[in-house]
Amino acid sequence: MSIGATMTLDASTLQLGQASALPQSPEEARLDRVPNPHAGTDYLARFTCPEFTSICPVTGQPDFGILVIDYLPGDWLVESKSLKLYLGAFRNHGAFHEDCTVNIGKTLVELLQPKWFRIGGYWYPRGGIPIDVFFQTGEPPKGLWLPDQGVAPYRGR
C-alpha cells in the first residue's frame, strides 16, 4: 500500500469496539477491512469527510478540504472507524492536495479491491486558488446509480 496503512483480515483484531488512539501519521495508521455480506450485489458505498486536514509540505500551514469516497464493493468493505483514524492521521502529514487525494484513493483500492472506486478531494484555497482533485479506477459500471458528490464548486464553500 502507498502511505503505510497496513490491513487486517481477522475480525478479532479490528479497531472497532476498542479504544484506539489517533495515529501520528498515515504510515502508522491501520486500515481494517471486513467481508462484504452482499458481495454478489452491485451497490454504491459512500464516505464523506467534511473536515479533512493535512499540512502544506512547504509552509507547514494547515490545509482543509472535503473528501468524498465512492466505491462499488467487491468482497471487502472498509471498516469505518479505521478509515476515520486513517484520514485523521493526515493532520500531521505534509503533502500537496494532489498527493493526499490520490494516495488515499490508491491505498483504499489496494486494500479493498473494489469493482469500481472514485475519490473527490475538494480543497479550500491555498494562495487564493482552490484545488479540486479527482481519482477513479475507470468508467462506472453500467446501471450503477452514481449520485453527484454534492460539493459545490468553490464559492466560499
Catalytic residues: 56, 63
3-state secondary structure of 115: coil
Residues 6+ apart with CB under 8 A from 127: none
Over the range 62-89, which residues count as b (16 or more CB within 10 Å of their CB) and which as e?
ebebbbbbbbbbeebbbbeebbebbbbb
72 close to 113: Cβ distance less than 8 angstroms: no
The set of cell numbers assigned to 101 is 487525494
Residues 6+ apart with CB under 8 A from 53: 62, 63, 64, 65, 90, 91
